[in-house]
Amino acid sequence: MSQYVSDIDFVMIWVDGNDPEWRKSKAAYSGEEAKFNINDVRYRDWDNLHYWFRCVEKFAPWVRKIHFVTCGHVPQWLKLEHPKLNFVKHSDYMAAEYLPTFSANPIELNLHRIEGLSEKFVFFNDDMFLIAPMKEEDFFVNGLPRGYAVLNPPTADKHGIATIIMNDLGVIAEHFDFKTQFKAHLSKWFHPAYGLQNLRTCLLLPWRRYVGFLDLHLPSSFLKSTFEEVWKEEEDLLKKVSSHRFRSDSDVNQWVMSYWQIATGRFVPGNPKIGKAFYLSGDVSGVVDIIKNQKMKMICLNDSEKVANIDTIRRQIAEAFDCIVGEKSSFEK
């Protein structure tokens, strides 16, 4: 009997920060030296990509297709001929004038242009992992993506993306009146799945505009048609962002698509406790315990400039993954 296959795709973007040709290209456009510095943590390779594929195969075997997106570099161990794998170069779906780009924002905002992409897809950064069995309903219900209609103001952080989040919110405020949409989808704004997170929304209701959303930094469920709709409404802005080779404070990012789905009510409330994002630094014993004992379904292992002992942490994380997905997947040679 053949294994059941859904109509849900996974999309994952990856960069090999160790690739000397990529470094040389990045340096040519940035004017910086072609070597790693602490500001490049968003590009750093943790040598754990194979665990991502193992986790998908073991915990979400129902996925229809994996669209693996890079600027062109390929891990030596990856089987490009795998029937469920679609290897996608930026040049395969992005306009030539936008390339090369060293910002994730243009790469993510144009994902709907990937040839053969399903209407329902889940977007992953390369630091987001499934660590326990997943169901289709964890991502989509009755054709609608899971979402989290919880008000939460962005955190001020000069090293983060608070300005980009504010730009995302500006787009939403331009197209939707918060109070109108809130009343129209009240049962999705106050929902048992959110648990105590509902209190955040209660406390922020006096504000008449969108003050921010709860962002889980976990795999995100999208409708391809949402991307198409936002592009139709905000083409000039998205073209401008797509032209940025490096991240800019004037950017929007793919979260604007999530916010759009929430503002329109085209989503199904999900449980925020399904996973958690961790910013790695010195002690990762808690993260290791969560992975080994599969205490959540999803996890994000966010790199940080505070990581001083990367080799030790990398080894500890790898040992944790070996406990749950120690054998090679069919995606590995």
For the domain covering 8-324, report its CATH number.
3.90.550
Band (pLDDT 50/70/90 cuts) for residue 41 is low
**pLDDT surpasses 60 at 278:** yes
Contact at 8 Å (CB) between 214 and 152?
A: yes
Task: Give me the chain's average pLDDT, please.
Answer: 93
Share of the chain above pLDDT 90, in %: 82
Contact at 8 Å (CB) between 304 and 281?
A: yes
Beta partners for residue 305, in sequence order:
none
Domain boundaries, the chain: 8-324
Structure tokens of 219? Answer: 């795999």
Give dist(CA 246, CA 29) in Å, integer. Answer: 9
Range from 16-20, 34-38, 327-331 that averages highest in pLDDT: 327-331
Q: What is the mean pLDDT of residues 19-34?
A: 86
Band (pLDDT 50/70/90 cuts) for residue 33 is low
- Give tens-digit pLDDT for 215-255: 999 999 999 999 999 999 999 999 999 999 999 999 999 99
Q: Which CA distances in Å does 65 have to 57, 111, 147, 221, 226?
A: 11, 14, 22, 15, 20
Predicted structure pTM score: 0.94
Q: Identify the residue with better confidence: 116 or 282.
A: 116
